[in-house]
Chains A and B, each alone.
Chain A
Amino acid sequence: MSVSTEKDDSARVPLWNDPNVRGLVSQIVLIAFIVWFGYELFSNYASNIAKRNIATGFGFLSTTAGFSIAQTLIPYTEESSYGQAFLVGLLNTLLVSGIGIFFATILGVLLGIARLSKNWIIAKLATMYVETLRNIPLLLQIYFWYVAVLGVLPMPRNAASLLDSFYLHKRGLSMPKPIFDSAAVIVLLALIAAIVLVVFLSRWSRKRQEATGEQFPVFLSSLGILIALPVVAYFLSGSPIHLEYSVLKGFNFRGGMTLIPEFMALLLALVLYTASFIAEIVRAGIQAVSHGQTEAAGALGLRPGQILRQVVIPQALRVIIPPLTSQYLNLTKNSSLAAAIAYPDVMHTFAGIVLNQTGQAVEIILITMAVYLTISLLTSMFMNWYNAKIALVER
């Protein structure tokens, strides 16, 4: 009996009307189409490249580069390979993005809070800043800092100097460079020990406060430990760190270290531009916390600073973090505008110089895209982790 019922069912619903079968078939067709399309693109590329006798593959990465780069964080000479040139570019991108994110966040938070200030002048100034900076294209701002501000500084011979150790001129900002002797390891170890100690101290004080309600001046004591321990270690190990000063010799400053104007212009533009967006995000986040929370905290006797730090900001962060992540990603990706003012980032060095010297456009553009994708995904992963950590814990 049951067999015949089944037959009847299938007769009633033909195969092409069965939603499961139709879903499966259309999925298979779509996947097959995508695979075929990708294959067509690749084989088309491969046959065209072969027909035009253009070299392919990633072997070029180990070939000698032969060109020089203005700013290198790792040892790099003209004898180094294209692969090392790529690393130099990558590190320069990470440097400007990392420092940029750090300062943009600080400035953005300050501005965001300033916009909500009860002081009329401070609030209006912050509003003016935000409305001006975020409405001028970033590329224009980069040119402004590079050409109109840093470009009109005096020549190295007439550099503006501060304390006879910092010199600001057309070719950058020259300053003393710390030189570490081998005994400097002791100072480093002392610093690490201080950090570990501070972490333990803050945990202990939090537990004690939760248990007994007594507060401990964690901030001041941590600051003391962080400064005192390395300083003591520095003198005990016989002053192993000294400074190498920049000296004007010939055309330019030698020795010490020099921040090139391309780096400063790019950093300034990225920080000031992104901070205006972050300010708006912070303002929105703070305003998203109901005013009742502030009033309730005030009724409990918390001081305004405490209300901001303990009540408002933790709740505001939940609103702030997701759009803030986008701003961090934007800043990193915008750093590729460096190519316009010759800051040697990965875009300028690798997708610019190396691409042109080797002519292997497809490989190099693929690597460069993968770099930005990886940086963005890692940033995003970290921010998502942080977001989950501060999310409302439901009990």
Chain B
Amino acid sequence: MKKLMVTAALGAVMGLAAGAASAGTIEDVKAKGFVQCGVSQGLPGFSNPDDKGNWTGLDVDVCRAVAAAVFGDASKVKYTPLSAKERFTALQSGEIDMLSRNTTWTATRDTALGLNFAGVNYYDGQGFMVRKSLGVSSALELSGAAVCTNTGTTTELNVADYFRSHKMPYEIVAFEKSDEVVQAYNAGRCDVYTTDASGLYAQRLKLTKPDEHIVLPEIISKEPLGPVVRQGDDQWFNLVKWSLFAMVNAEEMGVTSANVDEMKKSTNPAIRRLLGVEGKFGENMGVSNDWAFNIVKQVGNYGEAFDRNVGPKTPLGIARGVNALWSKGGIQYAPPIR
């Protein structure tokens, strides 16, 4: 019996040690055959399962782009739905390979949690939603309101800063899951629901009567949302970062999923480099040279992903705004592939 226990314990310790001394993430991903991607528990437009159980959304498209770069097949992704509270632990512990879950890039998260932000796929800001019947038209009229929000988010801290700096009393009710927040707001536990503006538009669709609620004009914070990886694996970090950049560059060059095959014959050197006709940019990252071709072909460029998931023609109806390309008045900007 004791012998058995010793063996078991030894096995456990060696298992832990093995977990610690893993190879690069990209080798692990190639070996297991899919990218394990952490997403939200259901945020329409960003990461949400459709009626057939397939995940769609702007954040999901980043996961798919990475899979397209590694495997040449955007469908080789497995999704882990995570609450705001669970997301960083899941990434730190290696349960997921990357996190693409409307996560705000902040100093603490970038420096103290052992994480690296691989870019920004959506520039957001925090807003407030209230019932029209309250007759409120500005966030400055919210003194004394009960506010529903998510625990473990930047939202929770921003709302505290905002009410504090305007010397307005308020009551905070913070739930762990987004669905619980929406339900509590819907049931009237709170006067105000606050989260990133994109999230407000997305969650409004889940309310009993979406028309009876308005989003107030104030945007009280900067929320650059982007994919996250663990520190200490620069190769994987580079791959995720450049998968996103490839989507933005493709839009800038006018390469879309529809015309990408023809574009391969383009004489424009920048396009030839992007699509792997010239140069060995894929090899430097540990993937094949047509990595970006696969991303654009299977996932589309950034603009396509935006329009498909959150753009004006979707139920969310969000305008490009600051998320337009830098050349079109926005701030989406990717370094050149060269």
Which A residues fall within an 8 A CB radius of B? 33, 37, 40-41, 44, 47-49, 51-55, 66-70, 77-78, 147, 151-152, 155, 170-171, 249-252, 254, 260-262, 339-340, 342, 344, 348, 352-353, 355-359, 361
Chain B residues at the A interface, C-beta cutoff of 8 Å: 6, 9, 13, 16-17, 19-20, 84-85, 88-89, 92, 108-109, 112-114, 134, 142-146, 151-153, 156-157, 159-161, 163-164, 169-176, 180, 183-184, 187-189, 191, 230-232
CA gap between A53 and B19 in the complex, in Å: 16
In the complex with contacts A52-B114, A147-B187, A361-B89, A68-B170 CB distance below 8 A: yes
When distances are taken between beta carbons in the complex, the residues of chain B under 8 Å from A68 are: 159-160, 163, 170, 172
Instruction: Decide if B175 touches A342 in the complex (CB within 8 Å).
Output: yes
Contact sample, A vs B, 5 pairs, CB 8 Å cutoff: A78-B160, A250-B143, A252-B171, A352-B151, A352-B152
Residue of chain B at shortest CB distance from A357: B152
Question: Is the CB–CB distance between A353 and B152 below 8 Å?
Answer: yes
Which A residues lie within 8 Å of B16 (CB)?
A: 40-41, 44
Contacts of A33 in B (CB 8 A): 6, 9
The 5 closest A-B pairs by CB, nearest first: A356-B152, A52-B114, A54-B114, A359-B113, A55-B112
Apart from A44-B20, A171-B189, A261-B189, list 16 A-B contacts with CB within 8 A. Answer: A44-B16, A48-B20, A52-B92, A52-B114, A53-B231, A55-B112, A68-B170, A147-B187, A250-B143, A250-B144, A251-B142, A251-B146, A342-B180, A344-B174, A355-B85, A355-B152
CA distance A357 to B85 in the complex (A): 9
Q: Is the interface of B mostly helix, strand, loop or mixed?
A: mixed
Q: Are B144 and A249 in contact (CB under 8 A)?
A: yes
Q: Are B157 and A66 in contact (CB under 8 A)?
A: yes
Cross-chain contact B188 with A170 (CB below 8 angstroms): yes
In the assembly, what is the distance between CA of A261 and CA of B231, in Å?
A: 42
Pairwise interchain contact A252-B152, C-beta atoms closer than 8 A: no
Q: Select which of B142, B163, B232 is within 8 A of A52 by beta carbon.
A: B232
Contacts of A78 in B (CB 8 A): 160-161, 164
* CB-CB nearest in chain A for B155: A67
Q: Which of B143, B173, B184, B189 has the most CB of A within 10 A?
A: B189
Judging by beta carbons under 8 Å apart, are B144 and A251 in contact? yes
Cα distance A393–B145 in the bound complex, in angstroms: 60
Q: Which residues of B contact A70 (CB under 8 A)?
A: 171-174
Separation of A309 and B144 alpha carbons in the complex (Å) = 52
Asked if residues B13 and A37 are in contact (CB atoms below 8 Å), the reply is yes
Least distance between A367 CB and chain B CB atoms (Å): 16
Q: A151-B189, A170-B188, A171-B171 are in contact. Are A53 and B232 (CB under 8 A)?
A: yes
Determine the chain A residues whose CB is within 8 A of the CB of B114 once the complex forms. 49, 52-54, 359
Q: Once the chains bind, are B108 and A359 in contact (CB under 8 Å)? A: yes
In angstroms, how far is the closest chain A Cβ from the Cβ of B295?
Answer: 28
Contact A353 B156 (CB under 8 A): yes
Question: Chain A contacts of B161 at CB under 8 A?
Answer: 66, 78
| A155 proximity list for chain B (CB < 8 A) | 188
- Which residues of chain B have C-beta atoms less than 8 A from A55's C-beta? 112-113
Instruction: Name the CB-closest residue of B to A33.
Output: B6
Quick one: which of A68, A147, A340 has the most chain B CB within 10 A? A68
Per the bound structure, the CA–CA distance linking A252 and B153 in Å amounts to 25
Question: In the assembled complex, how far is the CB of residue B177 from the closest CB belonging to chain A, in whole angstroms?
Answer: 9
Q: In the complex, what distance in Å separates the CA atom of A352 from the CA atom of B176?
A: 8
